[in-house]
Structure 1
Amino acid sequence: MATRPSDEEILQAVERQLADRCGITTRLADPGAASLTWESVLECEIHRSIEEREEGTRKAKGPLSRNRRIAERATYTDLYAYPVEPPADPSQRQVVHLVREGTLDEVPCEDCEGGRKDCDTCAGRGRVDCPDWIVCEVCRGGPDTCWECDGTGTPRTSRARKGTRPRREGTRERAAECKRCHAADVACPKCSGDWRWECSTCHGKGYRRCEKCNGDKRVRHEACDATGRLTVWTGATITHEPHHDALPVKRYPGRLKTGDWCRATLTSPHEDLPDFLEDIHAKRLALLLETRDHEVRRHVSVRLLPLAKVETPADPDHVYYAFPLLSGGIEVIDRFSRQRKTALLWAAAAVVALAITITLTVLR
């Protein structure tokens, strides 16, 4: 397990960084030469197995002979006393199906007869209503059916219309002989004065065969798989659901992954926290590690990287972070200080303002 470097070791590592990269030679251990604070990175994730037990009446399609798998399930008398081993890996889901002892039975299906029932589309008639006649889609059975007899078959010789023959706007001039009054060039070209025609589906019968049952009046009952029998029992399901929680962490440079992390694994809520954690770390983990309702197993992974933050007046533009490496040395990385970032932002704002000023001057 990694050990936390001493403050002196951290300062010496930062001194070497200053000398190698910036050419600054200074002794950071002197009073006022540097400030050092520990900002160790703590990571923790926990996988829990939460148990749920549920009981109720069950049924399956078909007789017992077709449901042998159900008959082979384990039986119980007291659901909450029945022992089930949680999954070894709490991140895996596990489901156990049980049958209450003495409840497995076979009963006739009450919603059908012999696996068949009346067709719900035709109500057991084998046929459905159908219009025996179809109104002509051109003249709609109105005055334009026949200019001479209006589709009645009786000519209007004594009461002939005057003027232009009526027709729907945009349609062609009448050119058909009326089938009823036999006058020429007066009838709807689609129905020839009949104003309707026989339905091509039912041929004028007024009904057609039901497509769902094909005229048989009865259909297969899917609820019992057309067997007329059901398997019933009182059953229970014991489910182990995986739940994952993690401690929120700040974003740090990716190079921290190469550090010598302190690691520990906990598998019980009664285990002591690892020795490398300080009181402040234990407080952060307290809520995360609380036992949840119906928790039966857990796997906790704790990782800690000792990380020191060093600031020095010798280089006010940078902040230095130091952490131990697996190789045994100490890695130092630098980032712009807040003071430097603010200066850069002001410089960028000044450049933008200058560019705007020059642009406005030129446009004038």
Structure 2
Amino acid sequence: MAHKRCAGTGRTVTWTEGVIARTPSTSEVKLPESGVFYFARQQARERGAWAPTKLTDNDPLHEELTKEFGPTLQTLLLPHQHEIARRAAAKYMRIARITVTEHPHRVYFVFPTATGPYVLVLPSQKRTWQITAIVLGALAILALVVRLVT
């Protein structure tokens, strides 16, 4: 291009800068829900020593995550259209569910904490139904007595 002041010629380069900002989306994956009582899950959530791990679409899943979460996590880690890669953070903890023949109405849950293993003792599902039936029966008898008295 010609330069008018000095009557010389040369090239000019124009640089354009662009910044692409993207807010990553976050979603929770909570599996499995079965096999562990609600109260045991709550205690593990509050007291447990969770092991954090970082996941990407190219890395193999940790052995602890593959059995229950493998197919779900592999699907979620696949890049979507126009994405280069995906990254996820996960935390996991093993919980042992133990039943003892000498105590058929108890279920023991053991999980790691910062100070060592924690043992949580809960009534079995059968015992919970028995207690529920007794309470409902007592309420029915009480309602019948109140009705007869009035």
TM (norm. structure 2) is: 0.71
Q: Which residue of 2 aligns with 1:75?
A: 16
Kept in 2: contact 1:316–1:339 (CA 8 A)? no
Summarize the Cα distance change of 1:245–1:269 in structure 2 as closer, same or farther, 3 Å threshold.
same
Q: Is the 8 A contact 1:320 1:332 kept in 2?
A: yes
Q: Which residue of 1 aligns with 2:3?
A: none
Out of 245, 254, 260, the position equivalent to 2:43 is 254
Distance 2:68 2:109 in 1: 20
Amino acid at match of 1:310: I
Measure, in 2, the Cα distance between the counterparts of 1:348 and 1:290: 51
In 1, the alpha carbon distance for the partners of 2:62 and 2:142 equals: 58
Q: More relative contact order in 1 or in 2 (CA 8 Å, sep 6+)? A: 1
Contact 1:309 1:319 in 2 (8 A): yes
Give the number of the structure whose residues are more often helix, by fraction.
2
Do residues 243 (structure 1) and 25 (structure 2) align?
yes
Equivalent residue letter for 1:260 = A
SS in 2 for 1:277: helix
Indicate the structure (1 or 2) with the bigger Cα radius of gyration. Answer: 1
Deviation at 1:279, TM superposition (A): 3.2
Query: Counterpart of 1:320?
Result: 108
Q: Mark the CA change 1:248 to 1:274 in structure 2 (over 3 Å): closer, same or farther.
A: same
Residues 287, 297 of structure 1: alpha-carbon distance in 2 compared, 3 angstrom cutoff:
closer
Partners of 1:360 and 1:257 lie apart in 2 by 46
Q: How many residues align?
A: 129
Contact 1:262 1:276 in 2 (8 A): no
Which ranges in structure 2 are unaligned for 5 or more consecutive residues?
1-14
CA RMSD of aligned residues (A): 2.5
User: What percent identity do the matched residue pairs reach?
Assistant: 21
Tell me the CA shift for residue 295 of structure 1.
2.2
Structure 1 residues 167-246: aligned runs within 5 Å: 238-246=20-28
Give the corresponding residue for 1:338: 125
Q: SS of the residue aligned with 2:111?
A: strand
Deviation at 1:297, TM superposition (A): 5.1
Displacement of 1:256: 4.3
Q: In the TM superposition, what whole-angstrom CA distance separates every residue of 1:91-121 from its partner, at most 9, and x where no partner exists? A: xxxxx4xxxxxxxxxxxxxxxxxxxxxxxxx
Which structure is higher in strand share? 1
- Per the TM alignment, residue 316 of structure 1 is displaced from its structure 2 partner at its CA by 2.2
